[in-house]
Amino acid sequence: MKSQQPYQVYFDREQLFHAAVQRWVELANESIRARNSFHVALAGGSTPKRVYQLLQRESLDWDRIHLYWGDERDVPADHPDSNYRMVREALIDHIPIPEANVHPIHVQPDIETTVEEYRQVLENVHRGANGYPCFDLIMLGVGDDGHIASLFPESSALSVTDTPVVSVYVEKLNSWRVTLTYPVLNTARYLMLLVSGEAKTPVVARVFGSEAERKYPVQKLAPQGRIEWYLDRSAASELPEST
């Protein structure tokens, strides 16, 4: 592991996932000690699934842990593309967490009803000084186009600054998504970005390269809290070797 960088590079995916789990557990225990609860927004996509599987084995105070989602696809909860379903199968079905502590983006026929309901669900989360939900942790994957949650390049959701959650139509996926917005991502105490594999090498090189232009949605993050990137060697293969 190399440490001077705003990112950590791990030998392989498995080492990356184990390090992310260790950090997740540390943050959960710290938050429960400090605030008697841990509110975490989970990432969808494929990269974090192994982290959720590994969390099954951890002894955590699940009664004080609340699970939310950073974004969701416009599909039913039992659909193979559902981020909720992925986490349910990888983690929730294997741990003693009260159902009342699981706060999915509950997809409904009308997507604005989905958004409105989730906005109310987010009322459970502590407020930051700016009045936005202040998660103890938000986990994010990064798309090879630099998107995070469902904040895709050139999408209308990028410029939303007056509400915590929106619906967005993603042209290239020909589908709707519901996503947390930048004000919520930037208010979190801790952002954990999980990025693995050679498909992500170009975007990682651009994000940490010298290029001034901040064109990727991930580069538009302005976190008030701490941000850490968990990279494997493939994703980091074009980054300068740290001394």
Least spacing, CB of residue 224 vs ligand 6PG, in Å? 21
Each residue 144-173 as x (binds ligand 6PG by CB under 6 A) or -, in order, gives ---xxx------------------------
DSSP-derived secondary structure letter, 216:
S
Cα 86 to Cα 3, 90, 104, 204, 226: the distances in Å are: 31, 6, 11, 25, 27
**Placement of tokens 């992310």 in the chain:** 20
* Sole window of 24-32, 45-53, 164-172, 218-226 interacting with ligand 6PG (rule: CB under 6 A): 45-53
Least distance from ligand 6PG to the Cβ atom of residue 205, Å: 16
Buried-state track 63-72, b at ≥16 Cβ within 10 A, e below 16: ebbbbbbbbb
What is the sign, positive or negative, of the torsion defined by CA atoms of 173, 174, 176, 181? positive
Least distance to ligand 6PG, CB of residue 144, Å: 7
Q: 39: which strand partners?
A: 66
Q: Check if the beta carbon of residue 166 is closer than 8 Å to that of residue 179.
A: yes
Report the residue from 44, 133, 183, 217 that binds ligand 6PG according to the rule CB under 6 A. Answer: 44
180 scored as a contact of ligand 6PG (CB under 6 A): no
Least distance in Å: CB of 225 to ligand 6PG?
19
Residue 47 contacts ligand 6PG per CB under 6 A: yes
Chain positions contacting ligand 6PG, by CB under 6 A: 43-47, 70-71, 83, 141-143, 147-149
